[in-house]
Amino acid sequence: GQNIDQPTEMTATEGAIVQINCTYQTSGFNGLFWYQHHAGEAPTFLSYNVLDGLEEKGRFSSFLSRSKGYSYLLLKELQMKDSASYLCAVSDSNYQLIWGAGTKLIIKP
Amino acid sequence: GAVVSQHPSWVICKSGTSVKIECRSLDFQATTMFWYRQFPKQSLMLMATSNEGSKATYEQGVEKDKFLINHASLTLSTLTVTSAHPEDSSFYICSARVLEGSPLHFGNGTRLTVT
């Protein structure tokens, strides 16, 4: 079956760095997405990785290893507004999106 | 950038009535749109994939007769919650993409409250 795993909840301190991991097992692979989701709002696209390596966008970076079925989202210089759920999603061979259950990130002062 | 408009933003209805939610891609054509539901303190749950000109594909556990999806054009998909009950109260979000494999663009969601 197809499966995406990510931690349910993580806690970090304002100003620090946090890494949210995502492992996947899917039928084919056409890219991995990370979204930020504040409850009651539309999710926000953060990153897209289809090749191995690190993609950096400001305070956020995303890494992919296709051979390991593994990705992580790295958030630096954490701010209180970064408290949200972070969703990992993989596009399979049919371009169907397989969603992880999301990681709730709690930022403490 | 690609914009998805979802309407209404919030709706309150009485138990037993039906509610229609619209999802429009404003500046692009979307052959596929997706409908999600978010329960309190939980992540997004994909309900169904809406395909233009054909029947929607529903996820396991989602009642197709209760959640009617219509994708009549390349820019509009609708979700109708039929015979709504209080347990249907939730936050419903739609999304669309320009091409297969491209990022999703989300509507702002609809808060449904059934009394």
* Angstrom distance (rounded) from CA B78 to CA B110: 12
pLDDT, residue A21, reads 98
The percent helix, strand, coil of chain B (3-state, each to 5) is 5, 50, 45
DSSP letter at A96? P
Chain A residues touching residue B95 (CB < 8 angstroms): 43
Phi/psi class of residue A76: alpha, beta or left (left: φ > 0; alpha: ψ in -120 to 50)?
beta
pLDDT, residue B76, reads 94
Q: What is the mean pLDDT of residues B2-21?
A: 94
Given a cut of 80, whether residue B35 has pLDDT beyond it is yes
pLDDT, residue B41, reads 63
Q: Is A30 on the interface with B (CB under 8 A)?
A: yes
Residue B26: CB atoms within 10 A of its CB come to: 11
What token pair was written down for B4? 């998805």
* Angstrom distance (rounded) from CA B94 to CA A43: 10
- The more confident residue out of B97 and A86 is A86
pLDDT per position as a tens digit, B12-32: 999 999 999 999 999 889 888
- The more confident residue out of A26 and A96 is A26
- The more confident residue out of A48 and B40 is A48
Q: What is the mean pLDDT of residues A77-102?
A: 89
Radius of gyration, alpha carbons of chain A: 13
Q: Is B98 on the interface with A (CB under 8 A)?
A: no
Given a cut of 80, whether residue A50 has pLDDT beyond it is yes
Lowest mean pLDDT among A13-22, B8-17, B43-52: B43-52
pLDDT per position as a tens digit, B65-113: 999 999 988 999 999 999 999 999 999 999 998 777 778 888 889 999 9
Q: Provide the percentage of residues in chain A whose pLDDT is more than 70.
A: 100
User: Please, which residues bridge with residue B60 across strands?
Assistant: none
Contact across the interface for B44 and A87, Cβ inside 8 Å: yes
Residues 6+ apart with CB under 8 A from A40: B91, B109, B111
Q: Tokens 């529903």 map to which residue?
A: B58
pLDDT, residue A67, reads 96
Beta strands in chain A (DSSP E): 3-5, 9-13, 18-25, 32-37, 44-49, 53-57, 60-65, 70-75, 84-91, 97-99, 103-108
> What CA–CA distances, in Å, run from A32 to A62, A64, A89?
10, 8, 6
Q: What is the mean pLDDT of residues A39-47?
A: 85
Q: Is B54 on the interface with A (CB under 8 A)?
A: no
| Nearest chain A alpha carbon to B100 | A95
| Residue B71 CA, distance from chain mean position | 11
* Angstrom distance (rounded) from CA A106 to CA A2: 28
* Angstrom distance (rounded) from CA B100 to CA A50: 13
